[in-house]
Structure 1
């Protein structure tokens, strides 16, 4: 997976530009990880922020849109092609720097760069 495709929703994800994903349940390959807190549709820089709640003690994680395999608007579920452990071990989400910090984006690209499913 290239850096460009990692930061874009796949053609078969079911993503619709402008869709409101906040509040959708998020499912990793091996179970639920939380709910979408916020998201971006920006071309070449799309992502979702997941509030993991008690699963990782209230941690938020930023996931590149390329990790999304399917969005189901009827069930309000976002499905990912990553495991809970891959998400748990991701670089810490820092709300103040995620939009502007290229080094943070590189760390995430390195962590999520190869699809596991």
Structure 2
């Protein structure tokens, strides 16, 4: 599961790129925009604001779920469905930002569905 927290070379992510504000597309449609992102080694992820699709819900997506970063279109594609993302643990920046237990739960949730 450690590769869950790193960008794959196929994603075309360039380290240091600010992903904040990028649109996020699940395998079956639009889910929201990036509110926060990190490329920290071993914990790289994006935080997606799923408004209005999931009223007010934020989710953390490990970098390993990202299949492609389209810098020109400012869009991130992930290899999960809207339903899978809807069932993910909700993210609260005030509570979960530095919570390793929360990240472990997220990794278990997404890891059980394959990379």
Normalising by the smaller structure, the TM-score range is over 0.9
Match of 1:4 among 2, 13, 16: 2
TM-score by length of 1: 0.92
Match of 1:74 among 67, 72, 75: 72
Query: How far has the Cα of 1:81 moved from its partner?
Result: 0.2
SS in 2 for 1:103: helix
Aligned to 1:42: 40
Query: How far has the Cα of 1:99 moved from its partner?
Result: 3.2
Structure 2 CA distance for aligned equivalents of residues 55 and 107 of structure 1: 23
Label 1:37 to 1:106 Cα distance change in 2 as closer, same or farther (>3 A).
same
| Higher fraction of helix | 2
Q: Are the counterparts in 2 of residues 81 and 115 from structure 1 also a CA contact under 8 Å?
A: no
How many pairs does the alignment contain?
115
Query: How far has the Cα of 1:115 moved from its partner?
Result: 4.8
Aligned to 1:19: 17
SS in 1 for 2:85: helix
SS in 2 for 1:85: helix
Query: How far has the Cα of 1:116 moved from its partner?
Result: 5.1
Aligned to 1:59: 57
CA RMSD between the two structures: 1.3
